[in-house]
Structure 1
Amino acid sequence: MFLFTLIAATLAQAVPATADRGVLTPKQRAACARLDADFARTGKVLKMYRAYTGADGKSKIETVDVAGKGGVYYGGKVSLTQFDFGDPTKVVIVYGHPNMVIPPHPSPYREIFLILSGSSEVVLPDGKRYALTPGTMLLSEDQGSTGRGGSSGPCGYVALDLQFKDAAPK
């Protein structure tokens, strides 16, 4: 089993709020630090979405219950929520630059995208928007769809991308 949240929490602590974001004004830097603080402090997954292909061939998104198998360690100083998605074939840290437009695309394989810092937004073909902020996880299972687009926020983002290239959607 892949201990997803433990690794994500460790990475969130290690990624500075200004990682690979270029030149920011003091006001932008403060806004980015506030945006990142809650997830870095708790290491908890706050929201989880699942992208899938609808009957019409277009990407859809549903909210998923983030309840996983829990555990408390080191006298209550460390708590975990474990999800069993299988073992990823590749783990990537993604740095999205500020205010970047992300063109519509389907997932080329099953993947989990966890925002560690900054923000991004997913936009479906029907115009619905989903904010991805620190601690938000997107499980992408919309291979073969027309895709979804989006943008990075004013701070850009740092994300953990777990790729399951040999796995079919569950």
Structure 2
Amino acid sequence: MNERQQAMFLWDWSRKRRHGRAGIALLGAGIGAIGGLAFAAIMLYALTLDGATFSVNEDEMGGFFVLIARALGPTGFLFALSIPAFAALAAFVADRIWGVQEGVYHALLSQGARVPAAKPPTTWKDHAPRLTLLCGFGLLVIWVLYMAWWEINRGSL
């Protein structure tokens, strides 16, 4: 890491770490819960496509899960499993990222680096990885929309 990257990292992380480890884990859990909600909605749509019914096979589950499935019904059971699972996974990943970033931050400070008082100036070269990812994601969205349009015009959707 060169001095510019070091200054940029220290300035950026000194602001992001203000929320604390629990705040970042909570943010990750919230984002994961939204992902779990989207996953359950997509699964429910896919499982009930063409008028099919969605049910839970109780023979393959343990007793506690059978009680939850009976109490919530199949749709509620799908949401009750996916939302907390995705939230827990995202909170764990956010916590691991926090630990790594905090370790790098303290290692740089122990080597004598100082947090800049103002944001270091950036160039296009600094933003190139982010712009590349955004362009790639934009192309992916365009491709998905085109494929959906293609399937709708063919009568498949």
Report the TM-score, using the length of structure 2 for normalisation: 0.24
Higher helix proportion (structure 1 or 2): 2
Higher strand proportion (structure 1 or 2): 1
Higher RCO (Cα < 8 Å, 6 or more apart): 2
Rg bigger for which structure?
A: 2
Report the TM-score, using the length of structure 1 for normalisation: 0.23
